[in-house]
Structure 1
Amino acid sequence: MKAHSLTLALTALPFAAAKGPFLQQTSNDTWVLGNDIWNITQGPIYGTKLYYQGKDAIGSAVGHYVGADGENNLVWESASIVNKGGSFIDVSFVSEKGDLHWVIYDDLAGSYQYFVNRALGDISILRSLFRLDPDRFPNGRTYLKDEPLPSFKSILSATKVQDETFETSDGTYITKYDWSNYVRDRDFNGVYGPSTGSWYIHPSTDYFSGNHLKQTLTVHRESSTGDAVQLNVVQDTSHFQTQVTTSQPVGKIWGPWLWYLNDGDIADAARKHQEELTKWPYPWINDTAYHSRGSVSGSLKLSDGRVAAGAAVFLGDSDIQAPLAQGANYYYTTYADVSGKFSFANVRTGKYGIYAWSNGGKIGDVYTNFTKSGIDVKGKTNLSTLTWSVPTNKRIFQIGDFDKKTTGFINSGPYHHGLAAASPANFTFVVGTTNSSSWYYASSNLGTWNVEFSIAELEKPTARLIVSLAGYSQSTALTVLANGAVLGSLSKDNITTDAATYRSGTVSGEWHQFEYVVSNLKKGKNVVSFQVDRYVLWRGFLWDAITLEWI
């Protein structure tokens, strides 16, 4: 009878009636968990009644849940304390697909969380989230944006023009994709108000899929209910790339990350983020493989004698799958220093491949990639000096840096819906007069972009045109020409599509590179043309770089 009275107190009062972290089952499929600072009522799918600072932070909003690939939300069948220490408990909620753990400390406002796979199978997306009281959490914050979330009223009065994108009466757009960002550049994301903040802090990103260019959603206003959404997408091989699924190994762990509550103070959340960086890898994870880690170091030198200064370096799967699409294991990213040296610390032991590409700057002319498979990480792994083969052909011209991004072009970054439509239909770039900064990040409208250049002498009978795209969204089509002769076409027939261009992505989607042999150059004026001959609104081509070289 006393236990039943305690159960009622836990669900009715803003703070737990027991001291320290706790889990209390209140019915066959309902539990209350938390500590003296906060507690939440977890049902078979949704966590509701989040009591913090003396009142419910969820209210009429949906609450907390976990799901994969759309609204396939997990159903919790049981919960138990599976590990405990002097000041914490590890609570595991079990579902058919996997287990969500809450690691609750006695003095922590919030909880560490991690997810362990049972039977997810082939998936493209895995996420957890809180949908919270919109009045208590009116603002959103990422490393790119810190401002009020769009009002629910403004969404209701707008016209839906595509998925989660709405046009207002003044011609501007509201979309959750404007709040996206690159997962490995994050510090902390969250929603907050004058008195309360709710944040996700990821001290490590090794469980995220993909490479440096992996991007996904963060926070937004739920368009159907007005809830403030604090989104935590930890697996995404879909939203801003060619959609693929990856088979998830049994026992794979996503996390731990920290869900953190405070009084809405961003500076405090920033301090907490820095604190968590010093604590990771967390010692309380009860998993041997999690604690089995090593390191990888080496240096990259180009075959022409230069060091690979600033190169993007990715430690991923030891196979030929494109780095952005990798998502079954654990992944590490860094950049080489000015001398070409790189290192990775706290790498899970196992087999890896290493990949590198130009990130612009001193090696912005390099359009080849470096790959090396079969790297066995056990303890300290020193790869010494790796030689990266690069061509030494003489350039006729180059527009932009080869970095797999639209960086440096007009309208490149930040996230903004519909900017592709703002690029000109017709445009002329004069080599030697026009700067790369005058090129536009995207081609979309029907028309022709000409690159005009002069050749004093024909040094060789043929040249090679390299066209590098930072992304492509179908079904826009483009014809490539040299002095009026067709070299080839780019369309959905020979490029896999991604959603970046129409989902507010202005920097990258999925990278593609094409080569064309040009045999009709002449002395004097020449023209390479890119003619858009099929138009679809907000779709098109994201530009990385273009170069023409003698071969």
Structure 2
Amino acid sequence: MDNGLVKVTLSNPMGMVTGIEYGGIDNLLEDGHNEKARGYWDVVWSSGHVDSRFYQIEGTNFRVIMEDENQIELSFSRTWNNDSETIPLNIDKRFIMLRGSPGFYSYAIYERHEGWPDLSIMQTRIAFKLQREQFHYMAISDKRQRIMPTDQDRYSGKTLDYKEAVLLTNPKNPDLKGEVDDKYQYSSNNKDNRVHGWISSNPRVGFWVITPSDEFRAGGPLKQELTSHVGPTTLAMFFSAHYAGEPLTLKLRNGEPWKKVYGPVFIYLNSVSNDERHQQNLWEDAKSQMHTEMNNWPYNFPLSEDFPHADQRGTVHGRLLVRDKYISFLSNTHLNIYIYFNIIISAYIGFAPPGDAGSWQEENKGYQFWTQADAKGKFSIKGVRAGKYSLYAWVPGVIGDYLYNVQVTVTPGSEIKLGDLIYYPLRSGPTLWEIGVPDRTAAEFYVPDPASTLMNRLYNNHTDKFRQYGLWDRYTDLYPNNDLIYTVGVSDYKKDWFFAHVNRNLGNKTYVSTTWQIVFDLKNVNPMGTYTLRLALASATMAELQVRLNDPKVARPNFTTGLIGRENAIARHGIHGLYRLYNVDISGSKLSNGRNIIFLTQSRGSGPFMGVMYDYIRFEGPPENY
């Protein structure tokens, strides 16, 4: 494909991107790699009799869908032939080039028919491996940019607690010596993962992956995925089990038919003269192109009948109000409250396949459409594919999940007005005390500095400080003998509540479980009333959280979560994984006038990464009119 600005070479009929010529560089991709390993779609899958395997998707049939002076669209497809050793999917990879556009688009249709064998898909994506000698500067966001080490620097470094984390002991760039490199340090939430890529040294060329929509991604706006990392590698991730574990594995069972379109994503190329601000200029231009692509979504040029254009989709309008008689963001009076459009209380509204409240974060078979409410709680979700959906919402600053009690059917060209929707967040009585902010992350809690020998300097004095390596062992440094004690009314959760409830390191790869205490005073306890402890977790990994009241040694806890979570967010610097909310009723007869203590034990103590991250904890009294 060649439009005079960029030339893209693809293997026939496999559909691997073997070469990209642009800006005076013969091939932006690493031509030292095999032609199959430069630019490719891949999938990690398994079936009932086949273990998990990695497959670079190879086409077996090639077609020119369209070719004129304005557009090229090519198809590289493969059809399942009942071979039990190959993935039971039909896959059609498409590549599009437009006149006057410095880049190209790619999307794919995955399909299986009724009666086909069981299939599990753990991950699918597009990967590009760029020229090692050209691309050294990586950019993910305004504040996450840097000169990166090379893959050779990693090979010669020291592997740390897991293979992805490497201490750079002898990098080619001496400024990087002593730093830790880990691809998970560069993960992003879906809602923030719109553009990322690399900039070459000479000539000054940018290679960017732009994802204009989340509709084809899994897990909703807070699902975290990889972006770019050492290689130099850049990815368009559609879904994976990262930061979620088994719940985000796509499972197709009992002959279930299924079809989904992934993409299109845009591979954007830009260049500038050799000025001093070339990196910033290329990044700003890439962001500008990102906004253009988002504004143009859904695209009107893909030719697959499985990708509906704007006139084949619907729009839904409404307004979300939160009603909680115990709180008001506007005043001390008890009012219906609007959701203000700011970082603290901006409502996220989304359509996803029908399910229970919060089920969107584990949904991966269908499409999702998300937006944020404006200053008066109003929202408009455009470009919704025809189908039946549930409407979901969550509100930073408000506990729990909202689910509209009526499923919504969207038809081509429809415009649906839902009117006012009222969210009654979980509430039994007035707040007696709280720890943290209900925002589905542990970011507001105390995040320590890393060990001085295990830093990634990008995150020194950075808002994403939690992305530093090895923070799980800093708990032992801070609490070598006794565990965390938090005193309500005295302690400050920003300073005194460690961001992750982890195990204590005894040395020699031995870890033990830990018990945290929340100390609080009560007056006028109602022995006949029911008090409520609300535990919102931001993440869990092979953990069991047990709650005991006033006696830490009682054999049977007042509450236990049981074994939960495989998110691995502690090890992967994620600050959150899957959201969980537990509501524990406590009889007033078990409470004392004066001093009380809640003991929180993470009882699974055999490893460094087992633990939970808290989002928010609230203790409510009985209803005022009890």
TM range (shorter): 0.7 to 0.9
Q: How many Å separate the matches in 2 of 1:469 and 1:36? A: 50
Task: Give the CA deviation at 1:166.
Answer: 2.4
Tell me what 1:27 maps to: none
Tell me what 1:10 maps to: none
Task: Give the CA deviation at 1:472.
Answer: 0.5
Compute the TM-score of the two structures, normalised by the length of structure 1.
Answer: 0.85
Q: Deviations over 1:354-403 (max 9, x none)?
A: 1122311xxx3x34543434111231111111222332512221111222
Letter in 2 for 1:191: W
Tell me what 1:11 maps to: none
Q: Give unmatched runs, 5+ long, in structure 1.
A: 1-20, 23-33, 222-226
Q: How does 1:17-28 map to 2 (within 5 A)?
A: 21=1
Q: How does 1:129-278 map to 2 (within 5 A)?
A: 129-143=127-141, 145-156=144-155, 157-168=157-168, 173-194=180-201, 195-221=204-230, 227-236=231-240, 238-244=241-247, 245-246=249-250, 250-263=258-271, 265-278=282-295
Letter in 2 for 1:433: V
8 Å contact from structure 1 (residues 128, 233) kept in 2: yes
Q: Deviations over 1:416-449 (max 9, x none)?
A: 3332332344222221222332322211034332
Tell me what 1:40 maps to: 9
Comparing 252-261 and 170-179, the one that deviates more: 170-179
Task: Give the CA deviation at 1:266.
Answer: 1.5
Give 2:424's match in structure 1, choosing from 382, 385, 389: 389
8 Å contact from structure 1 (residues 136, 196) kept in 2: no
Give 1:464's match in structure 2, choosing from 518, 524, 532: 532
Compute the TM-score of the two structures, normalised by the length of structure 2.
Answer: 0.76
Give 1:103's match in structure 2, choosing from 96, 101, 108: 96
Letter in 1 for 2:352: G
Give 1:440's match in structure 2, choosing from 490, 493, 498: 498
Q: Deviations over 1:475-512 (max 9, x none)?
A: x4443221115544656x43232222222212x10112
Query: Greater share of strand residues, 1 or 2?
Result: 1
Comparing 162-171 and 274-283, the one that deviates more: 162-171
Q: How many Å separate the matches in 1 of 2:548 and 2:302? A: 58
Q: How many Å separate the matches in 1 of 2:364 and 2:41? A: 18
Task: Give the CA deviation at 1:60.
Answer: 0.8
Tell me what 1:542 maps to: 613
Give 1:316's match in structure 2, choosing from 352, 377, 381: 352
Letter in 1 for 2:28: A
Q: How many Å separate the matches in 2 of 1:42 and 1:151? A: 27
Comparing 268-277 and 393-402, the one that deviates more: 268-277
1:56 and 2:56 aligned:
no
Q: How does 1:373-384 map to 2 (within 5 A)?
A: 373-378=406-411, 379-384=414-419
Letter in 2 for 1:385: D
Q: How many Å separate the matches in 2 of 1:250 and 1:522? A: 57
Aligned to 1:437, the other structure's residue is in SS state helix
Letter in 2 for 1:55: D
Q: How does 1:465-504 map to 2 (within 5 A)?
A: 465-474=533-542, 476-484=543-551, 487-488=557-558, 490=560, 493-504=562-573
Q: How many Å separate the matches in 2 of 1:393 and 1:257? A: 48
Task: Give the CA deviation at 1:465.
Answer: 1.2
Tell me what 1:14 maps to: none
Give 1:279's match in structure 2, choosing from 265, 283, 296: 296
Number of aligned residue pairs: give it.
507
1:67 and 2:42 aligned:
yes
Task: Give the CA deviation at 1:308.
Answer: 5.3
Measured at CA, do residues 334 and 435 of structure 1 come closer, stay the same or move farther in structure 2, by a change above 3 Å? farther
Letter in 2 for 1:443: H
Q: Give unmatched runs, 5+ long, in structure 2.
A: 45-52, 80-89, 114-118, 170-176, 272-278, 325-334, 340-345, 448-462, 505-513
Comparing 307-316 and 177-186, the one that deviates more: 307-316
Letter in 1 for 2:376: S
Letter in 2 for 1:228: P
Q: How many Å separate the matches in 2 of 1:45 and 1:317? A: 32
Measured at CA, do residues 250 and 85 of structure 1 come closer, stay the same or move farther in structure 2, by a change above 3 Å? farther
Comparing 301-310 and 190-199, the one that deviates more: 301-310
Q: How does 1:327-346 map to 2 (within 5 A)?
A: 327-346=364-383
Tell me what 2:62 maps to: 79
8 Å contact from structure 1 (residues 141, 191) kept in 2: yes
Q: How many Å separate the matches in 2 of 1:191 and 1:150? A: 13
8 Å contact from structure 2 (residues 126, 235) kept in 1: yes
Letter in 1 for 2:42: G
8 Å contact from structure 1 (residues 39, 50) kept in 2: yes
Q: How many Å separate the matches in 1 of 2:160 and 2:493? A: 36
Tell me what 1:406 maps to: 442
Q: How many Å separate the matches in 2 of 1:345 and 1:527? A: 49
Measured at CA, do residues 490 and 211 of structure 1 come closer, stay the same or move farther in structure 2, by a change above 3 Å? same
Letter in 1 for 2:38: G
8 Å contact from structure 1 (residues 35, 105) kept in 2: no
Task: Give the CA deviation at 1:230.
Answer: 0.9
Tell me what 1:325 maps to: 362
8 Å contact from structure 1 (residues 319, 373) kept in 2: no
Q: How many Å separate the matches in 1 of 2:538 and 2:64? A: 47
Aligned to 2:289, the other structure's residue is in SS state helix
Q: How many Å separate the matches in 1 of 2:262 and 2:519? A: 51
- How high is the sequence identity, in percent, across the aligned residues? 23
Give 1:431's match in structure 2, choosing from 482, 485, 488: 488
Task: Give the CA deviation at 1:228.
Answer: 1.0
Tell me what 2:519 maps to: 452
8 Å contact from structure 1 (residues 473, 540) kept in 2: yes
Tell me what 1:347 maps to: 384
Aligned to 1:56, the other structure's residue is in SS state coil
Tell me what 2:50 maps to: none
Aligned to 1:241, the other structure's residue is in SS state coil
Measured at CA, do residues 369 and 271 of structure 1 come closer, stay the same or move farther in structure 2, by a change above 3 Å? closer
Q: How many Å separate the matches in 1 of 2:208 and 2:5? A: 19
Q: How many Å separate the matches in 2 of 1:429 and 1:338? A: 36
Aligned to 1:124, the other structure's residue is in SS state strand
Q: Deviations over 1:53-98 (max 9, x none)?
A: 2422222133111111152111121222112454111111112331
Tell me what 2:47 maps to: none
